[in-house]
């Protein structure tokens, strides 16, 4: 790179043909026109959505509130909410792409309406978004919001780092979204295997979008893992032993440790691929001293633990829900803890089953096949413990419980197909068919997405102070469940019939009926997403009727329910002392759930900081410059990023003090509301009588 390169080409590779609409108009190819039309429509939706948001913020003069109360906040609760908002926005795009792919499958006999290049972009962006920019932000958001409350902490260990992690993830997501407007995304799948993603075979900028979006996301997740692990180890309330921690906190701890060890291989391998593409390092070029199998090993050394990074927090959510909505102590607590630890450990020992077909010896395949089967044992322990928790309980079939019960049924089916695929002999037959697609979605959708949606419904009243509408929640849940079954159960059969995965078209007419069924299922999934949006709108509209300010609408058992809804910025007026596993249930039973502390003290909390959004913005521009080889932008944003870190080191006034008098007033207001609220029974949970104070109706069965 020379100075003339920097200054003679100020926009790098960016030109008029980089925009889908202009590229469509300048081409006579019908495929380019149709795909350009679809791409232009999607780009227009993104642009219009941004304009609508800007207009609304301006109309209601909310820019100052947005900046000072949200974007620069270091409060773990607000950061958690922003993670979940990001996840739901990205879920919308991913579902739209899924419907398009299933529509192509329904009419794919002999062709269809999508070109192979556009179809490849769809499955690449869909997978990338669902893994890195929907599931990861969703679980990180729930962990961020709930875990400090569950362990009696005021915040996470490193609040500024928490903000930076959020904005790195958001920058990666923005990079994926802007690929709709400028350029195109990768066609190399969410896993980006070389040599197809090397410059020789994929010279465009799509793979570069994929590389830098994943690099930003993996850095954010690594920092999150460090932050959550330190928070749980060092910030627990006095008396909270490890075996007193709620199951959700245990799964968050194991997930955080897995992030610390699993994300760096992804960061390294994407950077190595970038060096291959930008500087011809040839790490993965077989003919020039490299080895593409190293990419597979490093990617899946991240990739299989990633599956359990996604699923373990959902397991924690299900544990909380089964206990709460069965009115019972969680059965087999210690076995659930050790099952979680076992899954986390074993997840690092089975990565090779993702490429049984890639040429290693039968002995190696056998070892990894056996290890893959073993991981089903601790998962089975969890399933049985949850079933025993429900046994003889007073079960309420609320929306979180509906998702949880559907998870057990569907996840067991996915687990059975996983045991089948752990056999290398069978895997050889179906590895490159849609049977594998069905299995993967059978694990990730019921195992992760249902858990996140259950947790979203479960903790929404705590975060916002009012309950979500139950009727629309049920409609959405049933659409998710039956839509998923319709979309993916047919793929098991199609896979056994021989339909290859990632195929834009097919020639066998026998595939058509099941492809149509899968498309109808995808439409039902889209309806589920729409119902979720309607549920939120209806809930906001009638929020006054559904207020639960006292903060315990479900008769919760752990500490997060021992605060108002929403909780104050400092979480607790006095750091609680813990002497029971179900700390809040014990406090309610002893009549001390709602009482004043002996004394109030001044509370120190971190000040807001622009460090996170500035760091995220410069990271986005840096990555965008690298994608389009706009080198002056890369240099400028790199210097700003470094300068931001240096300036932060000189900042001394980083804390603000909330006076004891203000803490006292806030807490006494909550205590007064709790005393005035009538304790409600579980049969009244979804009525206006529920103000957030639950009557004690726990069923205790010896475990």
| Tens-place pLDDT, residues 297-346 | 999 999 999 999 999 999 999 999 999 999 999 999 999 999 999 999 99
Region 446-463 average pLDDT = 96
Q: Is the pLDDT of residue 146 over 70?
A: yes
Region 408-421 average pLDDT = 94
Region 479-494 average pLDDT = 97
DSSP 8-state class, residue 344: H
- Scan for tokens 């290890």, then name that residue: 371
SS3 547: strand
pLDDT band of 164, cuts 50, 70, 90 = very high
Q: Is the pLDDT of residue 154 over 80?
A: yes
Q: ∠ at Cα 500 (494, 506), nearest 5°?
A: 85
| DSSP-assigned beta bridge partners for residue 109 | 506
- Provide the 10 A C-beta neighbour count for residue 530: 15
Average pLDDT, rounded, for the chain: 92
Reported as type and span, the H/E element at residue 368 is helix 362-374
Q: Is the pLDDT of residue 610 over 70?
A: yes
pLDDT given for residue 702 in this prediction:
45
pLDDT tens, position by position, 217-266: 999 999 999 999 999 999 999 999 999 999 999 999 999 999 999 999 99
Region 168-178 average pLDDT = 96
CB 394 within 8 A of CB 682: yes
Q: Where are the alpha helices (DSSP H) in 556-610?
A: 583-589
- Helix pair 136-150, 159-178: axis angle to 10 deg: 160
pLDDT given for residue 602 in this prediction:
94
Among 189, 183, 33, 181, CA closest to 124: 189
Q: Residues 567, 573, 579, 585: is their CA dihedral positive or negative? A: negative
What is d(CA 17, CA 652) in angstroms, rounded to the nearest whole number? Answer: 49
Query: Judging by beta carbons within 10 Å of its beta carbon (0-12, 13-18, 19+), is residue 79 exposed, middle or buried?
Result: buried
- Helix pair 292-326, 333-346: axis angle to 10 deg: 170
Which of 1-15, 188-202, 664-678 bottoms out in mean pLDDT, i.e. has the lowest? 1-15
Region 27-55 average pLDDT = 81
Q: Among residues of the chain, what percentage have pLDDT more than 90?
A: 79
Tokens of 142: 């729930």
pLDDT given for residue 700 in this prediction:
53
pLDDT band of 703, cuts 50, 70, 90 = very low
pLDDT given for residue 450 in this prediction:
97
CB 536 within 8 A of CB 89: no
pLDDT tens, position by position, 571-608: 999 999 998 899 999 998 888 888 888 889 999 999 99
User: E strands along 468-520, which residues?
Assistant: none
CB 548 within 8 A of CB 690: yes
Q: What share of the chain is helix, strand, coil (3-state, %, to 5)?
A: 70, 0, 30
What is d(CA 195, CA 213) in angstroms, rounded to the nearest whole number? Answer: 20
Q: Is the pLDDT of residue 286 over 90?
A: no
pLDDT given for residue 650 in this prediction:
87
First CA to last CA distance, the chain: 68
Reported as type and span, the H/E element at residue 606 is strand 603-606
Q: Is the pLDDT of residue 18 over 80?
A: no
- Provide the 10 A C-beta neighbour count for residue 109: 16
Concatenated DSSP letters of 643-682? HHHHHHHT----EEEE-HHHHHHHHHHHHHHHHHSPPB-G
- Helix pair 333-346, 376-390: axis angle to 10 deg: 160
Q: ∠ at Cα 218 (215, 223), nearest 5°?
A: 125
What is d(CA 98, CA 316) in angstroms, rounded to the nearest whole number? Answer: 28
pLDDT given for residue 169 in this prediction:
97
Tokens of 282: 């040839």
Q: ∠ at Cα 53 (181, 45), nearest 5°?
A: 35
Tokens of 201: 């075979």
pLDDT given for residue 215 in this prediction:
97
| DSSP-assigned beta bridge partners for residue 655 | 606
What is d(CA 61, CA 483) in angstroms, rounded to the nearest whole number? Answer: 40
Tokens of 589: 């039973």
Q: Is the pLDDT of residue 150 over 70?
A: yes
Q: Is the pLDDT of residue 6 over 90?
A: no
Tokens of 532: 């979720």
pLDDT given for residue 193 in this prediction:
92
Q: Is the pLDDT of residue 699 over 60?
A: no
Q: For 224, left (φ over 0), alpha (ψ -120 to 50), or beta? A: alpha
pLDDT given for residue 112 in this prediction:
87
What is d(CA 50, CA 177) in angstroms, rounded to the nearest whole number? Answer: 11
What is d(CA 595, CA 568) in angstroms, rounded to the nearest whole number? Answer: 16
SS3 109: strand
Among 169, 127, 450, CA closest to 318: 450
How many helices (H) and strands (E) in the chain? 24, 2
- CA distances 610 to 54, 84, 219, 221, 368, Å, are 20, 20, 19, 20, 47
Region 73-86 average pLDDT = 97
Reported as type and span, the H/E element at residue 527 is helix 512-541
CB 375 within 8 A of CB 343: yes
């Amino acid at each position: 790179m020379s100075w003339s390169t920097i200054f003679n080409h100020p926009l790098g590779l960016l030109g008029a043909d980089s925009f889908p609409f202009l590229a469509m108009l300048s081409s006579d190819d019908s495929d380019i026109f149709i795909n350009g039309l679809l791409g232009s429509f999607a780009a227009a939706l993104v642009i219009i959505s941004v304009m609508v948001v800007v207009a609304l913020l301006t109309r209601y003069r909310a820019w100052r509130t947005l900046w000072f109360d949200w974007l620069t906040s270091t409060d773990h609760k607000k950061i958690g909410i922003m993670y979940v908002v990001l996840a739901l926005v990205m879920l919308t795009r991913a579902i739209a792409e899924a419907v398009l792919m299933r529509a192509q499958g329904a009419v794919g006999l002999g062709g269809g309406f999508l070109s192979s290049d556009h179809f490849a972009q769809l499955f690449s962006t869909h997978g990338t978004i669902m893994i890195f920019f929907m599931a990861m932000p969703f679980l990180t958001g729930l962990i961020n919001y709930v875990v400090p409350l569950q362990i009696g902490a005021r915040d996470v260990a490193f609040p500024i780092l928490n903000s930076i992690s959020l904005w790195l993830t958001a920058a990666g997501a923005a990079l994926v979204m802007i690929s709709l407007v400028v350029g195109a995304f990768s066609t190399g799948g969410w896993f980006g295997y070389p040599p197809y993603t090397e410059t020789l075979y994929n010279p465009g900028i799509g793979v570069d979008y994929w590389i830098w979006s994943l690099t930003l996301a993996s850095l954010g997740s690594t920092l999150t893992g460090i932050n959550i692990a330190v928070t749980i180890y060092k910030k627990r309330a006095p008396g909270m032993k490890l075996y007193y921690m709620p199951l959700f906190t245990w799964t968050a701890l194991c997930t955080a440790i897995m992030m610390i060890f699993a994300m760096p291989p992804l960061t390294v391998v994407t950077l190595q691929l970038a060096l291959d593409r930008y500087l011809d390092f040839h790490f993965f070029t077989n003919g020039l001293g490299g080895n593409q199998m190293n990419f597979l090993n490093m990617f899946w050394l991240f990739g299989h633990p990633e599956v359990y990074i996604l699923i373990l927090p959902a397991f924690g959510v299900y544990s909380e829900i089964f206990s709460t909505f069965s009115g019972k102590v969680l059965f087999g607590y210690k076995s659930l803890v050790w099952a979680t630890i076992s899954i986390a450990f074993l997840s690092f020992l089975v990565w090779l089953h993702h490429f049984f077909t890639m040429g290693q010896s039968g002995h190696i395949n056998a070892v990894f096949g056996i290890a893959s089967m073993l991981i089903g044992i601790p998962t089975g322990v969890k399933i049985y413990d949850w079933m025993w928790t429900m046994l003889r309980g007073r079960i309420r079939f609320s929306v979180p419980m509906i998702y949880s019960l559907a998870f057990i049924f569907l996840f067991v089916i996915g687990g059975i197909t996983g045991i089948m695929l752990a056999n290398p002999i069978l895997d050889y037959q179906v590895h490159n068919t849609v049977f594998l697609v069905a299995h993967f979605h059978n694990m990730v959708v019921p195992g992760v997405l249902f858990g996140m949606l259950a947790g979203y419904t479960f903790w929404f009243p705590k975060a916002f102070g009012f309950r979500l509408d139950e009727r629309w929640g049920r409609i959405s849940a049933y659409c998710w469940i039956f839509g998923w079954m319709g979309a993916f159960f047919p793929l098991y059969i199609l896979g056994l019939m021989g339909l290859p995965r990632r195929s834009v078209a097919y020639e066998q007419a026998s595939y058509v009926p099941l492809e149509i069924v899968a498309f109808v299922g995808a439409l039902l999934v889209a309806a589920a997403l729409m119902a979720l949006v309607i549920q939120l709108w209806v809930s906001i509209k009638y929020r006054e009727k559904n207020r639960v300010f006292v903060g315990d609408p479900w008769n919760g058992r752990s500490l997060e329910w021992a605060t108002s809804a929403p909780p104050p910025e400092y979480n607790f007026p006095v750091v609680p002392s813990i002497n029971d596993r179900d700390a809040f249930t014990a406090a309610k039973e002893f009549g001390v759930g709602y009482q004043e502390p002996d004394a109030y003290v001044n509370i120190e909390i971190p000040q807001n900081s622009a460090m996170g959004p500035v760091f995220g913005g410069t990271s986005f521009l840096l990555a965008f410059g690298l994608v389009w080889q706009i080198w002056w932008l890369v240099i400028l944003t790199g210097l700003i990023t470094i300068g931001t870190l240096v300036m932060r080191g000189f900042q001394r006034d980083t804390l603000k003090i909330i006076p004891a008098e203000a803490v006292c007033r806030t807490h006494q207001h909550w205590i007064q509301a709790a005393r005035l609220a009538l304790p409600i029974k579980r049969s009244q949970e979804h009525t206006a009588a529920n103000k957030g104070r639950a009557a004690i109706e726990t069923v205790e069965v010896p475990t």
